[in-house]
Copies of this chain bind each other. A is one copy, B any other.
Amino acid sequence: MNADKVPDIIIGRLPVYLRALQRMAEKGMSTTSSQELSAHVGISAAQIRKDISQFGEFGKQGTGYSILFLADRLREILKVNRMWDVAVVGAGELGHALSRYQGFTDRGFCVVMLFDNDPFKIGRNVGEFVVEDSANMVERIRGANIKIVMLTVPAAAAQAVADKLIQAGVKAILNYAPISLNVPDTIHVQHIDPAIHLQRMTYYLT
């Protein structure tokens, strides 16, 4: 296994396979094939076989993949065979929605803190959380050894908050602010911006 050399584009597809396998398992299925997975994820069967084979031999000729086994291995590869504590920074509507979203826990993530700098939000209850003052963010995140943050602050504030998060030891930022973040190479950033996705589709509309 030479996982260190696996291209990021392949790593990016593994969570998609894992999600499909989890849904198959929930339906009570026990085995699947690259063809069947292909129909679920919209990626060719050949690509799926090639991607998965980067990490070893999982499928058997004729019988396909054991869903539970392959899902377990993908969780191990993606390091979600454990639970990661996550902080949400920005308690606007999106921050609320993410804090209360029920779909993270069976995929390796647990939101444990929610921060904002708005005096009218600090101290308020959001689901199980009390919105904490972002003045204490660095200390709290460092103290809890949190490595992952979902960032839902306004664009104008995002870079300054990201700098503080990195100072607090955060290694991975899911950035919902509509701005690219400048971070050191050791920090992982993924962006979610619905307008970017919408514009990618309008190109094809007539």
- A contact residues vs B (CB 8 Å cutoff): 8, 11-12, 14-16, 18-20, 23, 39-42, 77-80, 84, 86, 92-94, 96-98, 100-101, 103-104, 107-109, 147-148, 150, 155, 171-172, 174, 178-180, 182, 188, 190, 192-205
Contact = CB atoms under 8 A, between A and B. Distances in A.
Contacts of A96: 93, 97
Number of copies: 2
Contacts of A193: 19
A7 to B, nearest CB: 12
B80 A199 contact: yes
Contact of A180 (B42, B104, B180): B42
Given A107-B195, A108-B198, A192-B194, 17 more contacts: A11-B203, A14-B203, A16-B196, A19-B193, A42-B180, A42-B182, A80-B202, A92-B97, A96-B97, A108-B202, A148-B198, A148-B202, A150-B194, A172-B204, A188-B204, A190-B200, A190-B201
A36 B74 CA distance: 38
Given A19-B193, A93-B93, A93-B97, A201 B188 contact: yes
A41 B77 CA distance: 29
Contacts of A84: 198, 202
Contact of A103 (B80, B101, B195, B205): B195
B197 A190 contact: yes
A171 B205 contact: yes
Contacts of A179: 19, 23
B86 A198 contact: yes
A203 B190 CA distance: 13
Contacts of A20: 180
9 contacts: A16-B180, A19-B178, A19-B195, A42-B180, A79-B203, A103-B195, A104-B195, A107-B195, A148-B201
Contact of A14 (B18, B150, B199): B199
